[in-house]
Amino acid sequence: MLDDPNPTEAQDAEEGPAFGIIRVEPGDQLWSPKTQQQCTSPVGRWCPPQRGYAVLGALGLLAGVGVGSWLLVLYLWPASQLASETLQGQEMAWNCSEVSNEDVLLPSPRKTVSFRINTEDFLLEVQVRAQPDWLLVCHEGWSLALGRQVCRHLGHLRLTHHKAVILSDVKLNGSQGFAQVSPRRGGLLEEAWQPRDNCTSGQIVSLKCSDCGARPLASRIVGGQAVAPGRWPWQASVALGSRHTCGGSVLAPHWVVTAAHCIHSFRLSRLSSWRVHAGLVSHSAIRPHQGAVVERIIPHPLYSAQNHDYDVALLRLRTPLNFSDTVGAVCLPAQEQHFPRGSHCWVSGWGHTDPSHSHSSDTLQDTVVPLLSTHFCNSSCVYGGALTPRMLCAGYLDGRADACQGDSGGPLVCPDGDTWRLVGVVSWGRGCAEPNHPGVYAKVATFLDWIHDIARVSLEKETLMEEILG
């Protein structure tokens, strides 16, 4: 990843000085008083009377207390001062902890309407006002535009098919409810849907969106090790000439998303020099002139090279990728979808496996990283306010795993049941796997409107051609 965009604001958390603690095990003694002896004078030495014993004893006790106090001040005061400093360091660590009282999770907003598509017969169902029942959608009032909105709402890039299904051809339970689109709907709000006991037309909506988020050949591999083919079918390698430059994520056969800083660094290069490789695990398997040629490069218009805000770019490919068990698309986040702090997500790429090395890995690597809250990552002991609302961070405070140079632009994906969603794009960080400096990612959920707006026109043309060609 890139270095910290604002190193003056990213402050290291101070570490308390190490110190040793004197440990007294059972049976040990820090000092051993001598055994009391009786006053005897075998050679005729004088022994003081009983009162003298008391006076001498008192004087000795006072002297012992004074000497002991002086010794305690001399030898134990530095240790007590050190212990106090260490306790302050521990308190600082607690205040900066991910579970500190300052970091309060806000409740997720309640969805007014939810959708799902039955995977067996692709029947569209809607849930309104958080009611427990899922309602089949009547075909009355249905339109192509509404179907596109639903697919977009579910995190798909496009609508691929929709039709009316006769109710008598579907097996329904007796309590099945229905919903009809209001003629005066203003969008996908709850007011747009009216519950019905039946559909007047006797037809319901069947809807199919673009395939995404599935891993046909997935296998479990410990994070940080080499990846098997098909584990991350949306992983792409963005190359300038024959050299891997950044990672990317396949959104559709013609579309790949990457980081804007990857393109910005080489913005003077010829467009025809850019290629995208998908479905590969090892770069050594690439042959000259392989890969899909990039037709258009569209960085976000608000991208800032100073702090890497809005760090996303879309690549339009001249020829579509051939989807297979090893090449596929990742889903975008659904509308209003929230992945909470602590969610285990995966980052993958061909970047450096050791920050001290100057070469990228030939084999695709992956590792699991937990999501961290932006509030915490903006604290003084992490990135000191450098994260914007278009960023999120994920990783470990002890630096055990992280993305690195060469991974930029690649995917941070989180599971949503059996579906994988692109939550982040590898963007920047201070060093690689440094303690208290987790990876920072472009937050995909904040770019959904931009991604859909850019891709909509060409996707509509592709859909029309597919319909014409059958």
Q: What is the pLDDT of residue 72?
A: 41
Query: Which of the residue ranges 92-101, 417-426, 431-440 would you say has the lowest mean pLDDT?
Result: 92-101
Identity of the residue numbered 55:
V
- Where in the sequence of the chain do the CATH 2.40.10.10 domains occur? 235-459
Q: What is the pLDDT of residue 38?
A: 32
Q: Which is more confident, 160 or 2?
A: 160
> Do 117 and 182 meet the contact criterion of CB atoms below 8 Å apart?
no
How confident is the model over 354-375, as pLDDT tens digits? 655 556 678 898 999 999 999 9
Catalytic residue among 4, 311, 402, 407: 311
- Where in the sequence of the chain do the CATH 3.10.250.10 domains occur? 113-209
Homologous superfamily of domain range 235-459: Trypsin-like serine proteases (2.40.10.10)
Alpha helical stretches, state H, 302-390: 374-377
Indicate the Cα dihedral angle 333, 260, 396, 360, nearest 10°.
120
How confident is the model over 38-82, as pLDDT tens digits? 332 232 323 333 444 444 455 555 556 554 554 443 333 333 333
Buried b (16+ CB within 10 A) or exposed e, 191-214: ebbbebeebeeebbbbbbbbebbb
| pLDDT band at 398; cut points 50, 70, 90 | confident
Q: What is the pLDDT of residue 223?
A: 38
CATH code of the domain made up of 113-209? 3.10.250.10
| pLDDT band at 110; cut points 50, 70, 90 | low
pLDDT higher than threshold 50 for residue 6: no
Judge if pTM exceeds 0.85: no
| pLDDT band at 175; cut points 50, 70, 90 | confident
Catalytic residue check, 354? no
Catalytic residue among 261, 308, 352, 437: 261
Q: Which is more confident, 32 or 436?
A: 436
How confident is the model over 310-324, as pLDDT tens digits? 999 999 999 999 999
Catalytic residue check, 309? no
Q: Which is more confident, 219 or 425?
A: 425
pLDDT higher than threshold 50 for residue 171: yes
Catalytic residue check, 12? no
Q: Which is more confident, 283 or 226?
A: 283
Q: What is the pLDDT of residue 217?
A: 73
Catalytic residue among 237, 249, 379, 408: 408
Closest among 146, 124, 150, 144 to 135, alpha carbons compared? 124
Beta bridge partners of 211: none
Query: How far is Cα 251 from Cα 257, in angstroms, rounded to an integer?
Result: 7
Closest among 109, 120, 133, 115 to 181, alpha carbons compared? 115
13 token code pair: 């958390």
